Amino acid sequence: MEASLAFYREIVGLPLDRQFAAPDGSAYAFLGEGETKLELIAHPAEQTPVFGGEVSIGFSVDSLEEKLRFVKEKGLSVEGPFAPGPMVRFFFVRDPNGLRVQFVQTK
C-alpha cells in the first residue's frame, strides 16, 4: 500500500482524499479530487495483485515532454511515447503492482 500511495501521490500527482483500515486488516485509500477517485485496496491475505488482461488507467497531462522527463528522472521504465494520430500522444509506465499507467496529452 505504501509504495502504491507514494507512486500515485508523487508520480501521478493525486492528492490523498482519505485512508482507513477495516477490522479484517484490509487497508483502503482514496486519491483524487472531485467526483472521480482512485481506490487502492490492500488485503493482508493477498500478496499478488490480479488484473484482467491489458488493463490500464490513464491521466491527462499538459505537457507530455515534461511528464516523460519527470518519470525518467524518477527511474521508471517507459513504454513509448506513441502518437496514433496528430491530436494525441501518450506513454505508459507501470505502478508498483505492475498496472499500466498512461499519461496522455491531447491537442
Domain boundaries, the chain: 1-46, 55-107
Q: How far apart are CA 13 and CA 9, in angstroms?
A: 5
Find out if CATH 3.90.1150.10 is the number for domain 55-107: no
pLDDT at 63: 96
C-alpha cell at 12: 501521478
The residues of the chain scoring below 50 in pLDDT are: none
What does the pLDDT look like over 82-101, one tens digit per residue? 999 999 999 999 999 889 99
Tell me whether the omega of the peptide bond preceding residue 81 falls within 30 degrees of 0, making it cis: yes
pLDDT at 95: 94
What does pTM read for this prediction?
A: 0.87
Cβ contact 98:91 at 8 Å = no
Q: How far apart are CA 5 and CA 24, in angstroms?
A: 20
